[in-house]
Amino acid sequence: MITTIAMGVVALSALLVVVSFMRAMPRTTFVVWALVMFFVPIWIGLAAGPLFVSVITIVTLLAVVAFGRDLRFSLADALMIALVAIVALQYVLGVINLNYTVVTVLEWALPYLWGRLVLSRLRPAFAVQCLAVFGMIAAAVALVEVFTKTNVFVLMKQDDSLYSVWGTLQMRGDHLRAEGAWGHSIAFGSALAMCSSFVLATQWKPVVRVLGVVLISVASVLTLSRTAMFVLMLTLALSVVLLPRVGRLTRGLVIALGCIGAIVAGPFIASIFSDQGQEAEASAGYRTDLFSLFAYVKPFGSADSFLGVTSGGQYLGNFAKSIDNAFLLTALRLGWFGFAAFCLVILIAVASPLLSRHVTPAAIAVAAQIPGLFTVALITQFGMFFWFAVGLAVGWDSLLRHSREDAAWPDERRMLLGMEEDYDLISAYELTRSR
């Protein structure tokens, strides 16, 4: 008994030390979090009773505690709280299971809160550059993975169910699909697409930004995922059109190289999908058939078992077949009320910056993912990265709005930014001054 108490005291003391260091070094904390997000697979973690907690969840929780401070409350925050409350109530009433509750709290709400807190301790420019750099490194690792036909991350074996699901390599015909540490090619490609908006939002030289976009684009193509390639093109299109401070030279180079890339890579992609025509057609048909399952969504609680149910010839018994649609899967698991809160949080994160005419790379990253969520669920750490971006978009928009309203805005501007290159806030200040 005494030994157990002593070990608990030591562990708590070590935890307090770690949190203190993280609070004192916010930049290092963010870099460590990004490093874990991009390069530690979701199946690496600790078992806590009936639950499994991944390393990225642990690091995110510690980062939230370290960064924790008062936030300016927003409508999106209220809706996220409502979503968690709806899910918790449904679990207490026994109409959804523990797994759905844990996912909502640890993989959705927690990274959302982390995204909301980041800009309370970091300058926007640093967060943007960090995400851009890690996205480019992950893309470079993916190139090595494909050309060597070796994924070093699947060698990080751990005896748990997550590894059995995500720790296998994917092939399309004879071609290995790049997936990095993300456990699935679509999840990896979608995450890279989100990073492309941050690459274009940096204040690097145009040539460096364009080369970063090219690197990410090549890696996205090597995922051999139609969803990943589509959301990448959409992200780049929105970034080129809507992001301020993306100069004419950068825009011109991105558009020109995009056209050249489509011409060069088009035949390669077409040949792969033509060789796997039946598989690709069946995959597309399956995703279309899934929409019929909206009829099974309940107002409150999870849908009934699909044991014995088929849709378009696809067996969907008891969720045995994966449901590659984040919106549908959320509705089936959480009911219409939970689904409504889920959608409204995402909508506000995207709509508010667009309507305020101060578009941020986080808002673009989220907006471009919305069509892709109809063809992929929030799997592996991609779900956490997506919700982090949602929180970052909300937090960035809140920072812009309240900084403009604050009477001490010039002093706050200098305190928050510290350098003139920080993205978008300077222009917002000058716009307010001119009025």
Give residue-wise pLDDT tens across range 45-99. 988 777 889 999 999 999 999 998 767 889 999 999 999 999 999 999 999 989 9
- DSSP secondary structure string for all residues of 389-410: HHHHHHHHHHHHHHHHH-TTHH
**Contact between residue 368 and residue 193 where contact means Cβ atoms under 8 Å apart:** yes
Quick check: 312 pLDDT over 60?
no
Find tokens 């809706």 and name the residue: 79
Q: Mean pLDDT, to the nearest integer, of 4-30?
A: 79
Task: Calculate helix-pair angle for 26-39, 124-148, nearest 10 degrees.
Answer: 30
Token pair in block for residue 336:
């219409």
Query: What gap in Å lies between CA 26 and CA 122, rounded to an integer?
Result: 7
The pLDDT of residue 304 is 76
The pLDDT of residue 320 is 45
The pLDDT of residue 216 is 97
What's the distance, CA 239 to chain centroid? 17
Between CA 190 and CA 263, with CA 185 as vertex, the angle to 5 degrees is: 75
Q: Quick check: helix, strand or coil at residue 315?
A: strand
Token pair in block for residue 383:
């779900």
Select from 235, 254, 250, 37 the least CA-distant residue to 133. 37
Select from 306, 297, 287, 289 the least CA-distant residue to 376. 287
**Cα Rg of the chain, angstroms:** 22
272 Ramachandran zone, left/alpha/beta (phi>0; psi -120 to 50)? alpha
Give the residue extent of every domain in the chain. Answer: 75-396
Quick check: 411 pLDDT over 50?
no
The pLDDT of residue 263 is 82
Side-chain-facing half-sphere of 379: CA atoms under 13 Å: 24
**Contact between residue 326 and residue 290 where contact means Cβ atoms under 8 Å apart:** no
Strands 175-176 and 310-311: unpaired
Alpha helices in 290-325 (DSSP H): none
Alpha helices in 276-379 (DSSP H): 277-289, 326-356, 361-372
Give residue-wise pLDDT tens across range 212-259. 999 999 999 999 999 999 999 999 999 999 988 788 888 888 888 888
Token pair in block for residue 103:
């996912």
The pLDDT of residue 179 is 95
Give residue-wise pLDDT tens across range 180-198. 999 999 999 999 999 999 9
Quick check: 435 pLDDT over 80?
no
Token pair in block for residue 15:
């935890």
Query: What gap in Å lies between CA 198 and CA 216, rounded to an integer?
Result: 11
Token pair in block for residue 187:
């999840």
Query: What gap in Å lies between CA 96 and CA 303, rounded to an integer?
Result: 9
Q: What percent of the chain has pLDDT over 70?
A: 80
Quick check: 7 pLDDT over 80?
no
Compare 307 and 187 and report the one with higher pLDDT: 187
Quick check: 24 pLDDT over 90?
no
